[in-house]
Amino acid sequence: MKTTPTTIRLDDDLKKELTKELSSMGLSINGYFNLAARQLVIQKKVPFEVLAESNEPTEATKKALVVAQAKELGSIPDDSPSFDNMNELKNYLDKESTTTP
């Protein structure tokens, strides 16, 4: 079978993630694109569901936003620590890491 070289351009970070995921499955990028292309020809459609990234915040983000808003409105007390400099923050984090199980 004769092959034709083809060039595709990928974002560097995407290529790294793609290579890592495909390696764990025993595939190369070339193998993956050949597989996807063959399936497209066989199925006459894109062989996977195409999803868009969601602009919806995660549940954890939603909760954090509600808590922040409640603190801002005075509905719940704002007991968040504040720091005047980086050393105070580091000391606080060090203290927290030694007291948290």
- Could you read off the pLDDT of 43-91 as tens digits, one per residue? 999 988 888 887 888 889 899 999 999 988 989 888 888 889 999 989 8
- Could you read off the pLDDT of 5-20 as tens digits, one per residue? 999 999 999 999 999 9
Count Cα atoms within 13 angstroms, Cβ side, for 38.
6
> In degrees to the nearest 10, what's the CA dihedral of 67, 71, 77, 80?
80
Token pair of 16, please? 């790294």
Question: Residue ranges of the domains in the chain?
Answer: 1-48, 59-99
Q: Where are the alpha helices (DSSP H) in 1-101?
A: 12-24, 29-43, 59-73, 86-99
Q: What is this structure's pTM?
A: 0.49
Token pair of 70, please? 């409640």
